[in-house]
Amino acid sequence: MRAWRLHDYGQPLRLEECALAQPGPGEARVRVAAASVNPIDWKLSAGLLRGVFEPQLPRVLGRDCAGTVDAVGPGVTEFAPGDEIAGVADMARDGTHAECCVLPAAQAARRPANVPPDAAAALGVAGVSAYIALVEVAKITSGVHLLVHAGAGGVGSLALQIGRQLGAEVSTTCSAANADYCRSLGAHHVIDYTAEDFATLRGFDAVLDTVGGAVHERSAAVLKPGGTLVWLAAAPFDAMPGRNDVRVVRADVRCTADRLATLLEWAARGTLRVPVETRIPFADAPRGYALSRTGHARGKIVILT
Ligand SMILES: NC(=O)c1ccc[n+]([C@@H]2O[C@H](COP(=O)([O-])OP(=O)(O)OC[C@H]3O[C@@H](n4cnc5c(N)ncnc54)[C@H](OP(=O)(O)O)[C@@H]3O)[C@@H](O)[C@H]2O)c1
């Protein structure tokens, strides 16, 4: 099988013929139909996560995918060869930017027939991140005021819809070019971050920050006392100067079968639209990394295998 492998940080990925991995206990091997690109892929390939997470090289990158099970390891009762599933690879093993990959069954779920592989693949990291942040950490309920930063991004475009579905009044930051796009996904209010300062706003119950840095630091100001700032992108702050009356929580993102199954069910019912905006043939996969690296990709990028 062919896979895109990283041999050296900062060097181009190489498309290579690789041995087919055998699924171990609790694992399923999948013929990949689609795999999404997440910022962690280009950050890893550029060596930006060295010291935090340094996989042994060469390594196949890519975290999530959808495809057909072709073998299962000992103890797997959830799936059998021929099943259509989506899931997230184990960080300790080769990833999903390949024709075949191995997934822990505990991080995978059946793909409903009316959710296409590209949409299912895109939910594994971005969808589960938005779900954990809004449903489990911020515990969004009807009527709360929610600010989602970067509503046009992979996580944000799903978070806008999840927040809206949970009954929140949803505001989001994006550039002017993405304002209508964010509204189409359910944002009630759009803040063009190139022209307006979101930090002058007040009265939010929760903020989802996927941008980090100064955006993270300045987000606490908009929260009501007792509000929650939940964040994903690496940032050095976990308490806010002058705001000991708000919660600042890093979402601990772990894909589980239950979380992914819920998202897939929402997609199947049509209450969650998976915004796959860029589809890239397998042979051009590095183009997906380059687009993600711009920091301005809209929605999700998916590699079609
Ligand atoms: N900890 C975890 O497990 C975890 C999980 C998922 C994601 N993450 C991290 O979360 C971050 C976001 O992930 P993602 O997949 O959503 O990224 P993404 O899809 O690459 O985000 C791109 C979007 O960010 C928007 N953007 C850029 N700068 C902005 C700013 N200053 N204010 C508002 N919007 C801005 C862009 O919109 P415009 O073009 O309109 O500017 C673009 O649509 C990444 O750093 C990722 O590594 C972490």
Atom of ligand 1 nearest to the CA of 193: 32
Query: Across residues 284-303, what is the average pLDDT?
Result: 98
| pLDDT higher than 80, residue 241 | no
Interatomic CA distance for residues 31 and 16, integer angstroms? 16
Multiple choice CATH, 126-250, 3.40.220.10, 2.40.160.10, 3.40.50.720, 3.40.50.2000: 3.40.50.720
**Within a 10 A sphere around the Cβ of 52, how many other Cβ atoms?**
9
For ligand 1, atom 15, the nearest C-alpha belongs to 154
CA distance 59 to 55: 7
% of the chain at pLDDT higher than 90: 92
Residue 276 pairs with which residues in a beta bridge? 300
Query: Count of CB atoms within 10 A of residue 77's CB?
Result: 7
Cβ of residue 301 lying under 6 Å from some atom of ligand 1: no
Place of tokens 């594994």: 124
Residues 154, 126 contacting (CB under 8 angstroms): yes
Report which ligand 1 atom has the smallest distance to the Cα of 253: 3
H helix count then E strand count, the chain = 8, 16
pLDDT higher than threshold 80 for residue 131? yes
Q: What is the pLDDT of residue 95?
A: 98
With a 6 Å cutoff on the Cβ, whether 173 touches ligand 1 is yes
Q: What is the Cα–Cα distance from 302 to 292, expressed in whole angstroms?
A: 11
Cβ–ligand 1 contact at 291 (below 6 Å): no
Two tokens, residue 175: 């550039």
pLDDT at 237: 60
The DSSP H or E segment spanning 183 is: helix 179-184
Residue 107, ligand 1, Cβ within 6 A: no
For residue 268, count other CB atoms closer than 10 A to its CB.
16
Q: Work out which ligand 1 atom sits closest to the CA atom of 156.
A: 16
Distance in angstroms between the alpha carbons of the first and the last residue of the chain: 11
CATH number (3.30.457.10, 3.90.180.10, 3.30.930.10, 1.10.40.30) of 2-125+254-304 reads 3.90.180.10
Q: From ligand 1's centre to the CA of 56, what distance in Å?
A: 27
Mean pLDDT score, 89-108: 97
pLDDT value at 209 more than 80? yes
- Of 45-59, 90-104, 267-281, where does mean pLDDT reach its minimum? 45-59
126 lines ligand 1 (CB under 6 A): yes
Token pair, residue 1, equals 């099988």
* 126-250 has the same fold as 2-125+254-304: no
Residue 153 CA, ligand 1 centroid: distance in Å? 5
Distances (CA, A) of 97 to 13, 33, 172, 295: 11, 10, 31, 20
Judge if the beta carbon of residue 38 lies within 6 A of ligand 1. yes
Task: Give CA–CA dist 239/216, Å, rounded.
Answer: 11
Closest residue CA from atom 7 of ligand 1? 232
- Identify the pLDDT of residue 234: 62
Q: Can you list the alpha helix ranges (DSSP code H) found in 72-212?
A: 117-122, 128-131, 154-165, 179-184
- pLDDT one-digit tens code per residue, 142-192: 999 999 999 999 999 999 999 999 999 999 999 999 999 999 999 999 999
* Phi/psi at 43 (5° precision): -65, -40
pLDDT tens figures, 220-239: 999 999 999 999 976 556 56
State the chain's mean pLDDT as an integer. 96
Report the nearest atom of ligand 1 relative to the CA of 38: 15
C-alpha distances in Å from residue 202, one per residue of 36, 112, 236, 239: 35, 41, 24, 19
Q: Work out the average pLDDT over 253-265.
A: 98
In tens, the pLDDT along 6-33 reads: 999 999 999 999 999 999 999 999 999 9
Q: How confident is the model at residue 52 (pLDDT cuts 50, 70, 90)?
A: confident
Residue ranges covered by each domain of the chain:
2-125+254-304, 126-250
Residue 51: per-residue pLDDT: 85
